[in-house]
Amino acid sequence: MPTPGSSPDLPAEPATPKRQLTLFDSTCIIVGIIIGAGIYETAPRVARGAGWWWDAIGLGFLPVAEEAALWGAVVLFWLAGGLLSLCGAFGYAELATAYPKEGGDYVYLGRAYGRWAGFLFGWMQLAIVRPGDIVGMAFVFATYAEQIYNPLAETGFAFTGQLYAATAVALLTAVNVWGIRQGKWTQNLLTVFKASGLLAIVAVALFAPRGEPSAAEPSPFPISVALILVLFTYGGWNEMAYVAAEVKRPKRNIVRALVLGTVAVTLLYLLVNAAFLYALGYAGLATSDAVAADAVATVFPEVGARLISAVVCISALGVVNGLIFTGARISYAVGAEHRAFRVLGKWDRQRGTPARALLLQGALAVGLVVVLGSFLDAILYTAAAIYLFYLATSLAVIVLRFKEPHVERPYRVTGYPLTTLVFAGVCAFLIYGSIMYKPLLSAVALGIIFLGLPIYWLTGGSRGLSDR
């Protein structure tokens, strides 16, 4: 029997996200997603691009030694990547503090251009970007995990990498479905371990014998591709926007987490590249196939490969967990408003997670592990789409200042509008570069994105259940 004053006929209010993420949790999410295995794969190519740039602009007349000049060019490239990422982070910080809701770009694009734009972003994340990003980093984990332990190597089994990748996705999805505390503490621990691993590589490389100039001639590498690789390696700073509704004291902590996370990663990347240059020299860095292993092997030749494999595995798992954690929040936000994906718009009150969105995202990612089969194909599956929406969101800062001037903006973009326009211009350049490099794959990805428009119209658009 109901107690006096109760209302048995009224349904319970739907569960919604709670503010449980501290500044440390939020910063770990950003740092954990940005720092993956990208730095180990891209550093040599970026070094070659920096060398090409140095020769192309003809600064040989400067009174500095050539080796020192090349070191400076490499450091400038990575510093430029951090500053450009910070320009983008400023825009997201303004949007996230003005609209501290779950969904990130989905919310901002919907308010700036119409609900169809927000839906299209959510559809892209659900069908292309988030599963593809998760799979790409899961394959990096699998590649290095095989080097540590591969019990099936002697059997000739050809799918060990896919097995490792699918297992990583499934287990980390299960951890995040289990509860927000488990998901965030897994992220915090992996982030601390991976940052410590990078610092350990720096320390070891600084104790290495000083790298001497190598006789090897690095092959030229286009500056445009080098810049794309730098910004790819910095990718992930915007993830804070997707969990804005769960951040404590959002008006202060969102900005702090975005800036602290981006600056911390920039400093780490500068330290790592300086260590590589010190241990291997410019030519040694630019011609290396496994730069971190080569740097560590100068001090620990016997255990260097396994040590680096373990560091890269932890780094990749940290990225996978962060992408799973934040990505499901986008699908939840879309499901909360659009009837076509209503099943995803349910928040598990007991666990504090978007459990259904997590499960669907995990299933799609495992499917892509089987279909795509490699890290490269996973990255190419997402490349054309990502920068299109980065561009649209960065311009949304300008659009929303005119469209909704009454909205409180606890933080306003530093250097506006210059920093916003610089970042938008870089996004346009990267869209062009992606399409030129892989036109067919880019066309397929864009076709899947725009397939979302008829789905939106045929299902009657948004449900209109919330004011975002």
Query: Distance between CA atoms of 271 and 301, rounded to whole angstroms?
Result: 22
Of 17, 47, 386, 428, nearest in space to 229 by CA: 47
Kindly report, residue by residue over 267-313, the tens digit of the pLDDT. Answer: 988 988 888 888 888 888 888 877 777 777 777 776 666 777 787 78
CA distances from 352 to 130, 181, 329 (A): 21, 8, 12
The predicted structure's pLDDT at residue 155: 61
Output the CA angle 419-23-174, nearest 5 degrees.
105
In our burial notation (b when 16+ CB lie closer than 10 A, e otherwise), range 264-303 reads bbbebbebbbbbbbbbbbbbbbbbbebbbbbbbbbbeeee
Q: Give the closest residue to 201 by CA, choosing from 34, 43, 46, 26.
A: 43
Amino acid 202: pLDDT: 74
User: 468 pLDDT band (50/70/90 cuts)?
Assistant: very low
pLDDT band at 421 (very low <50, low <70, confident <90, very high): very high
> Residue 204: pLDDT above 50?
yes
Considering only 168-177, 393-402, 455-464, which range has the smallest mean pLDDT?
A: 455-464
pLDDT digits 0-9 by tens, 327-348: 777 778 777 777 777 878 777 7
User: 369, 169 in Cβ contact below 8 A?
Assistant: yes
Instruction: Compute CA 282 distance to the chain's CA centroid, rounded to the nearest angstrom.
Output: 28
226-263 burial, b if ≥16 CB within 10 A, otherwise e?
bbbbbbbbbbbbbbbbbbbbbbeebeebbbbbbbbbbe
Beta carbons of 291 and 276 less than 8 angstroms apart: yes
Averaged pLDDT for residues 34-60: 71
Nearest to 204 by CA among 81, 342, 336, 307: 307
Q: Sort 457 into a burial class: Cβ within 10 Å, 0-12 / 13-18 / 19+.
A: exposed
Question: Between these two residues, 261 and 64, which has the higher pLDDT value?
Answer: 261
Lowest mean pLDDT among 24-38, 99-113, 244-258, 414-428: 24-38
- C-beta atoms surrounding 450 within 10 Å: 11
- The confidence score (pLDDT) of residue 413 equals 93
412 residue type, one letter: R
Positive or negative: CA dihedral 363, 380, 125, 353: positive
Strand partners, 21: 247
At residue 45, the pLDDT reads: 83
The region of weakest confidence among 86-100, 258-272, 312-326, 415-429 is 312-326
Place of tokens 């600056």: 263
First vs last C-alpha separation in the chain: 38
Q: What average pLDDT does range 13-36 have in this prediction?
A: 69
d(CA 118, CA 242): 13
CATH topology of domain 23-458: Amino acid/polyamine transporter I (1.20.1740)
φ, ψ at 348 (rounded to 5°): -75, 110
pLDDT of residue 395: 95
* pTM across the whole model: 0.72
Q: Which of 40, 41, 42, 49 is nearest to 70 (CA)?
A: 49
Of 75 and 106, the one with more pLDDT? 75
Over 90: is that where the pLDDT of 324 sits? no
Residue 241 near residue 91 (C-beta atoms within 8 A): no
pLDDT mean across residues, the chain: 78
Q: Please tell me the predicted confidence (pLDDT) of residue 455.
A: 86
Q: What single string gives the DSSP state of each residue in 7-70?
A: -TTSPPPPP-----B-HHHHHHHHHHHH-SSHHHHHHHHHHHHHHHHHHHTT-TTSSS-HHHHH
- Is the bond preceding 417 in cis, omega lying within 30 degrees of 0? yes
CA 128 to each of CA 304, 441, 454: distance values in angstroms, whole numbers, following the listed order: 36, 12, 17
Q: What are phi and psi of 237, to 5 degrees?
A: -65, -25
Q: For 207-216, 348-357, 424-433, which range has the lowest pLDDT when averaged over its residues?
A: 207-216
- Tens digit of each residue's pLDDT (9 = 90 or more) over 346-365: 777 766 778 888 888 889 89
Q: What is the mean pLDDT of residues 411-426?
A: 93
- Each residue of 381-400: pLDDT tens digit? 787 788 888 899 999 999 99
Does the pLDDT of residue 250 top 80, yes or no?
no
The three-class DSSP label of residue 338 is strand
